[in-house]
Amino acid sequence: MTTTIDDVAGTPTRQTSAQPRRRNKLAAKLLKMNWTGGSLGWLWLFIVMVPIYWIVITSFKTQANYFITNTFAPPKDPTFENYKTVIDNEIIRYFLNSVIVTAGAVIPAVLISFMAAYAIIRGAGSRFLGATMGLFLLGLAIPLQAVIIPVYLLIIKLQLYDSLLALILPSIAFAIPLSVLVLTNFIRDVPKELFESMRVDGASEWQMLYSLALPLTRPALVTVSIYNGLFVWNGFLLPLILTQSPEKRTLPLALWTFQGQFSVNVPAVLASVVLTALPIVILYAIGRRQLLSGLTAGFSR
């Protein structure tokens, strides 16, 4: 700390240098850093990125160059011929089927789960709603593989076999339990005073649901939507059991078919892998902030 004389007023003024304080704060931050965790994080990132890098660069190689060039060397003459081959094999149809099944399952599941979670929280004293919550929690303990035969028989009885609706209905049922659990915890954290104040102002339950609960639980809605979207998009067992015709295939089932069709043409198979994963990567890039906010909100409360 130094003392100087003001040239105009002639009064002493004190000037405090902020540089030593900044150095101390920087040193404190460096000491608090988790170097082990950071190093392991970078190592895990490297492990994850290596196969992704190999898949992408190989998809731009020709079949002949794949066998004679270095595995991790980028292609000297990149080609889109593999992507053209995959697109010519009706991957667009399979992509549209996956979009229809995913959107048709996620949107109703999230809407039903949101309204169910709101009813459970707002009617906390009701025995019926408490038993309903217990049924939702019981649904978390039942894996898809354990009930695939009853689901198959139900679809046959409903005459929905080999249709996209046969994939949508079970996907909705399996997406609801976890969605209700997540959304219930979020709506429970909304202060009751806000609901009471809107009730005094004459708002109905639907108005409180749309104007109050919906905006405050948007991160949770995005989180469960992306999670359920990933589950339905990558689903393989339901399309394998409940569909038969090639016109009803989704992308995971089509990718399995491509592996048998292009078993020798590895670049073509990897091109189909890139096209299958690309929509999920774009979806994550768009909703990354909301997704992380929803995942970490429970730890910050």
DSSP structure string for 270-297: HHHHHHHHHHHHHHHHHHHHHHHHHHHH
* CATH number (domain holding residue 161): 1.10.3720.10
> Which residue carries 């809107």 as its tokens?
198
Per-residue pLDDT for 32 more than 70? no
CA 156 vs. chain centroid, Å, equals 31
122 occurs within a structural domain: yes
Q: Identify whether residues 129 and 263 lie together within a single domain.
A: yes
Same structural domain for residues 235 and 176? yes
**Measured between alpha carbons, how far is residue 62 from residues 55, 79, 261, 277, 281 in Å?**
13, 7, 17, 21, 25
194 and 64 in one domain? no
Whether residue 163 sits in one domain with residue 148 = yes
Residues 289 and 185 in one domain: yes
Chain segment 197-236, per-residue pLDDT in tens: 888 888 888 888 888 888 888 888 888 998 899 899 989 9
Question: CB–CB of 255/273 below 8 Å?
Answer: yes
Residues 54 and 186 grouped into a single domain: no
Query: 91 is in which domain, residue-wise?
Result: 84-297
Whether residue 199 is contained in a domain is answered as yes
Residue 291 lies in a domain: yes
Tell me how many domains the chain contains: 2
Q: What is the pLDDT of residues 159-200, one digit of tens each?
A: 999 999 999 999 999 999 989 988 988 888 888 888 888 888
Q: Are residues 123 and 91 in the same domain?
A: yes
* DSSP-based three-state secondary structure for 236: coil
